[in-house]
């Protein structure tokens, strides 16, 4: 029988090479299954504990702990240092040290009423993935910046460079095998969309080939084919309650030939959850201080969007903004700005900066220069009035 286990803290694996990440994943999984540590592994830098590699610069908030993986002969020492070769004991010890520090410094973060149950054990074949990972190709060199953008100042250059940075998880077969253990075969039970969205976000971040079913009381089930980026749900979106009293997500590793033969684009579901179902605030993995920038426009021709969404998207494509800045700049309520950030982050369309905030490079709402509102004299404003939108 599966016991309900509550993940108290989150650990983010950032900038690790493929072998280290695979090993840490396997050990975390086993520690979770054995009840030695109850940590939710994510792949972003907003976690309570960040495990990173060597001297890789990581900007962390005061309340975050940064642990580093170093070679065996590294002269440094400390409670948050992991030496290669990585061992189960060392990682469990690290997690306990981190728990002790987090317990003493601040109340445990709340992730709604999320419960993670029935996480699968590491399968025999998954250790093999570590060996396969060692043969992974090196990252390609970064592309050169166009002189036009180089002239726009350091903050803008930083934004462009961040977009050109390689994705943290190239979907090699080896990684998929290892990462699958973090999500597939698990069942997440929540009492709101915010609860379940964490599991969805985790699956999307790891890019594990996963099939999922979301069950809602008195509503149609939602079948999701993550590799095929599509979903099925009769009567969507009208059949989906915005405030369900229970949401159950069951995820399994996708088998060959198991994908949905047809369905709607997954972006539609993620857009719906982000903009309408997550409530009034930011998603649990986003912070009010996070500055966000779009890395790709959403496919608006398949999304149920408004003119405000389009204006906010244009602003997000040209500036690095917090939710509040986006709200002020676009003249929309905070709830709507938070909603579009939630949706974009679920859809994987955001670059997020959590470093000490650079001076915001945002278009000032100067008369005659901003993106038009209905009452403005801009061409955009005139066109939407003309088109009756």
Partner 1 sequence: MAEHVILFAGPMCAGKTTAIRSLSEIETISTEAANTDRETADKDTTTVALDYGEITIGDEDKVRLYGLPGQRRFDFMWRILMERAVGLVLLVNNDAADPLGQLAEFLEEFAELHERGGIVVGITRADIAEGPSLGDYAQTIAKSTSGAIIPVFTVDARDGNHMQTCLLSLIANIESRAALAYQQEQAA
- Is-contact 40 186, C-beta < 8 A? no
Stretch of 42-50, 120-128, 158-166, 250-258 lying at the interface with partner 1 (CB under 8 A): 158-166
DSSP letter for 261, please.
S
Q: DSSP class of residue 131?
A: H
Q: How far is the CB of 208 from partner 1 (least distance, A)?
A: 17
Q: Closest separation between CB of residue 253 and partner 1, Å? A: 22
At 11, give phi and psi (nearest 5°): -120, 130
String of contacts with partner 1 for each residue 263-282, x by CB under 8 A:
--------------------
Which residue carries 């445990």 as its tokens? 108
Alpha helices, DSSP H, located in the chain: 18-33, 88-105, 124-133, 147-150, 154-164, 173-183, 193-206, 266-272, 307-318, 323-330, 334-346, 379-386
Q: Taking CB under 8 A as the rule, does residue 380 contact partner 1?
A: yes
H or E stretch at 287: none
CB-side neighbour CA atoms (13 Å) of 354: 17
> Least Å distance between CB 299 and partner 1?
5
Q: List the one residue from 61, 152, 242, 280 that touches partner 1 (CB under 8 A).
A: 152
How far apart are alpha carbons 228 and 248 in whole angstroms?
Answer: 21
For the bound state, the minimum distance from the C-beta of residue 383 to partner 1, rounded and expressed in Å, comes to 6
For partner 1, the closer of residues 164 and 355 by Cβ is 164
Binding residues for partner 1 restricted to 233-252, rule: CB under 8 A: none
Q: How many residues can be counted in the chain?
A: 389
Q: How many CA atoms lie within 13 A of 41 on its CB side?
A: 25
CA distance 95 to 93: 5
Q: Is 146 in the site for partner 1 (CB under 8 A)?
A: yes
15-23, 52-60, 85-93, 293-301 -> range binding partner 1 (CB under 8 A): 293-301
Closest CA to 247 of 228, 226, 220: 220
CB of 109 to partner 1, least distance (A): 32
Sole binder of partner 1 in the list 2, 138, 140, 387 (CB under 8 A): 387
300 to 339: interface string for partner 1, x by CB under 8 A:
xxx----x--xx-xxx-xxx--------------------
Which residue lies nearer to partner 1 by CB, 259 or 279? 259
Which of 144, 255, 262, 375 lies at the binding interface for partner 1 (CB under 8 A)?
A: 144
Q: At 213, phi and psi to the nearest 5?
A: -130, 130
Nearer residue to partner 1 within complex by CB, 54 or 300? 300
Binding site for partner 1 (CB under 8 A): 143-146, 148-149, 152-153, 160, 163-164, 294-297, 299-302, 307, 310-311, 313-315, 317-319, 361-366, 369-372, 378-380, 382-387, 389
């Amino acid at each position: 029988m599966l016991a309900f286990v509550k993940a108290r803290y989150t650990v983010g694996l950032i900038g690790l090479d493929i072998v280290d990440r695979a090993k840490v994943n396997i050990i975390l999984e086993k520690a979770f299954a054995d009840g030695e540590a109850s940590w939710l592994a994510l792949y972003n830098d907003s976690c309570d504990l960040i495990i990173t590699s060597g001297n890789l610069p990581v900007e962390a908030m005061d309340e975050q702990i940064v642990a580093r993986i170093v070679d065996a002969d590294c002269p440094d020492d400390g409670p948050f240092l992991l030496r290669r070769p990585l061992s189960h004991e060392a990682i469990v010890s690290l997690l306990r040290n981190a728990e002790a520090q987090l317990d003493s410094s601040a109340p445990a973060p709340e992730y709604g009423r999320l419960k993670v149950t029935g996480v699968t054990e590491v399968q025999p074949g998954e250790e093999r993935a570590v060996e396969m990972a060692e043969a992974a190709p090196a990252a390609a060199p970064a592309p050169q910046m166009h002189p036009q953008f180089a002239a726009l100042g350091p903050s803008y250059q930083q934004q462009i460079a961040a977009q050109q940075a390689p994705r943290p998880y190239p979907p090699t077969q080896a990684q998929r095998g290892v990462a699958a253990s973090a999500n597939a075969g698990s069942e997440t039970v929540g009492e709101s969309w915010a609860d379940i969205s964490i599991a969805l976000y985790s699956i999307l971040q790891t890019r594990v080939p996963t099939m999922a079913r979301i069950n809602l009381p008195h509503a149609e089930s939602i079948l999701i084919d993550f590799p095929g980026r599509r979903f099925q749900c009769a009567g969507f979106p009208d059949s989906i309650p915005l405030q369900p009293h229970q949401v159950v997500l069951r995820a399994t590793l996708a088998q060959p030939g198991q994908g949905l033969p047809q369905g709607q684009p997954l972006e539609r579901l993620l857009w719906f959850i982000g903009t309408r179902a997550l409530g009034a605030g930011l998603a649990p993995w986003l912070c009010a201080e996070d500055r966000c920038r779009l890395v790709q426009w959403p496919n608006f021709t398949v999304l149920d969007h408004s003119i405000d969404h389009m204006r906010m998207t244009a602003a997000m494509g040209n500036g690095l903004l917090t939710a509040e800045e986006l709200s002020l700049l676009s003249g929309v309520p905070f709830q709507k700005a938070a909603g579009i950030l939630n949706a974009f982050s679920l859809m994987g369309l955001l670059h997020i900066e959590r470093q000490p905030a650079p001076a915001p490079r945002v278009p000032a709402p100067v008369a005659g220069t901003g993106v038009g509102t209905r009452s403005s004299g801009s061409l955009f404003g005139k066109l939407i009035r003309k088109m009756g939108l």
